[in-house]
Amino acid sequence: MDRLTLKRSGQVLAPSLFTMGNMACGFYSLLASSRGDFTAAATAILGGVVCDMLDGRVARMVHGESSFGVEFDSLSDFLTFGVAPASMVYAFILKDYGVIGGLSAFLFALCGGLRLALFNVSSQSGSGSKTHFQGLPIPAGAGFWASFILLYQILEEQKPARTLAPLMREVPFLLTLVPFLMVGLAFLMVSTIPYAAFKQKEMFRVQNPRLLGLVALGLALVYFYPQNAIFLLVLIYVLSGFFGILSGSRKD
């Protein structure tokens, strides 16, 4: 094996290690859900989100993009962000809704798979956008459920924690909406609603004080109110697609 081949193998392997970490998080989440440890299951999914954010960036950094990496990433994403959260939410609450609960959980996993397939097709054809995603990205859908369950566990376990009282008062009400939210997120993933991709390098330059201010505010909230802030940030992103449509219609 020549030096060039070894170098290329290393470039492909580097991001694949993070993809394997993503898959490991999804598998562990399934195990944790099966034994009723929903805090561990939700935390593992958020760990998968971090790994998923890193594998693409590492691939671009070391020029390790490959067809293998794309396929491997999609399989990992389907497990961690499609199957694992659907199983977690079903075991957590949807099982109490009988057939409807099972169908809504399956619909989330199904639409997540369709979302990944559509994303791969658009990427391979070169029709994908660098500024936005078409439909809610599957990690955001999974992140919503993971952060919600971590938020609810504060009430369930009745442990003292720094929380935002107005948000915590709404958590029991949100719990009653879980079947509807599951179906709604499923359809958002296969919708044509645009969501920010945050791939543009210029967005993260120091000359962008507005973004830096928002990032600083987000980090401060995560530091002082971790479970609350993560849920709020994901919720804002989920709703941002609708805000974009409304602002666009006003401009028209």
pLDDT at 181: 97
pLDDT at 119: 87
pLDDT at 251: 44
Tell me the pTM: 0.86
Instruction: Look at residue 49 and tell me whether its pLDDT is greater than 90.
Output: yes
Higher pLDDT, 201 or 153: 153
List the structure tokens of 160: 């003292």
Q: What's the total number of domains in the chain?
A: 1
pLDDT at 249: 45
Higher pLDDT, 4 or 24: 24
Give the pLDDT mean for 199-226. Answer: 68
Instruction: Look at residue 64 and tell me whether its pLDDT is greater than 70.
Output: no
Residue pair 70/127 in contact (Cβ under 8 Å)? The answer is: no
CA distance 31 to 245: 39
pLDDT at 62: 66
Instruction: Look at residue 6 and tell me whether its pLDDT is greater than 90.
Output: no
Whole domain around residue 155: which residue ranges?
3-251
pLDDT at 37: 96
Band (248; pLDDT cuts 50, 70, 90): low
The predicted-structure confidence for 86-142, as pLDDT tens digits, reads as follows: 999 999 999 999 999 999 999 999 999 999 999 888 877 766 677 788 899 999 999
CATH assignment at residue 136:
1.20.120.1760
**Measured between alpha carbons, how far is residue 225 from residues 26, 48, 49, 139, 231 in Å?**
25, 21, 19, 22, 10
The predicted-structure confidence for 173-188, as pLDDT tens digits, reads as follows: 999 999 999 999 999 9
CA distance 246 to 123: 27
Identify any residues that bridge with 211 across adjacent strands, giving them in sequence order: none
CA distance 71 to 74: 5
Band (252; pLDDT cuts 50, 70, 90): very low
pLDDT at 70: 82
